[in-house]
Chain A
Amino acid sequence: GAVVSQHPSRVICKSGTSVKIECRSLDFQATTMFWYRQFPKKSLMLMATSNEGSKATYEQGVEKDKFLINHASLTLSTLTVTSAHPEDSSFYICSATVGRQRPYEQYFGPGTRLTVT
């Protein structure tokens, strides 16, 4: 149980375009989802916390107008990278918590490799 999927797994886009990444909890309802960014050989950096039905909370230094997050349902959160540039190329990973009863448990998706040309 507690499987999180991401789509697409890899995406290549041209500079200036926008790309949407989906994060789904497949067998549970996720009240909270987190979005991370990871550069090569680096650790995960939290970008934002997404709660169903409310606005995402962004970490300091993360541009909310560039990284649009929508958590429309208890099983789906989306991250849209708007007007992408080569420096946005990265590995984006989402995670989801099972619920308030076990808020410490985060289950991670397989990640999305974004390459901006």
Chain B
Amino acid sequence: GESVGLHLPTLSVQEGDNSIINCAYSNSASDYFIWYKQESGKGPQFIIDIRSNMDKRQGQRVTVLLNKTVKHLSLQIAATQPGDSAVYFCAEIGMDSSYKLIFGSGTRLLVRP
């Protein structure tokens, strides 16, 4: 079946540096992509989303890039802070009317002080 996957299971960065978390998706027909942050023992928290008709979207300290040609999604976090340490998941919305989220396998971000 279709799936969303990540290249790096763990990313360690120095506090203050920029972080880039990558994700590959397989369903070229997906219309909507979301990045979630999950802290230990908590539910996923929405970070930023992007529609397939866009290639870039910026939020506060975060930017999502979408490359539909190679079916690649990335999350950039500027000036990474200790509070950014968490597991990050990309997800895509299935194209049927159920609006089910298909989650990637996740990347753990560790921020070194």
Binding site for B on A (CB under 8 A): 4, 6, 32, 34, 41-46, 49, 57, 91, 93, 95, 97, 103-111, 113
Closest to B108 in A: A41
A41 to B43, CA, bound (A): 13
Asked whether A49 lies within 8 Å of B98 as measured between CB atoms, the reply is yes
The main secondary structure of chain A at its interface with chain B is strand
Q: Mark B75-110, 1 if CB is under 8 A from A, else 0.
A: 000000000000001000100001111011110000
Closest to B9 in A: A41
How far, in Å, is A47 (CB) from chain B's closest CB? 11
Question: Which residues of B have CB within 8 Å of A91?
Answer: 41
A110 to B43, CA, bound (A): 4
Given A43-B105, A43-B106, A104-B93, do A113 and B100 touch, yes or no (CB 8 Å)? no
Given A104-B32, A104-B49, A104-B93, do A46 and B100 touch, yes or no (CB 8 Å)? yes
Given A43-B89, A43-B104, A43-B106, do A93 and B98 touch, yes or no (CB 8 Å)? no
Asked whether A111 lies within 8 Å of B42 as measured between CB atoms, the reply is yes
Closest to B105 in A: A43
In the complex, B44 has a CB within 8 A of chain A: yes
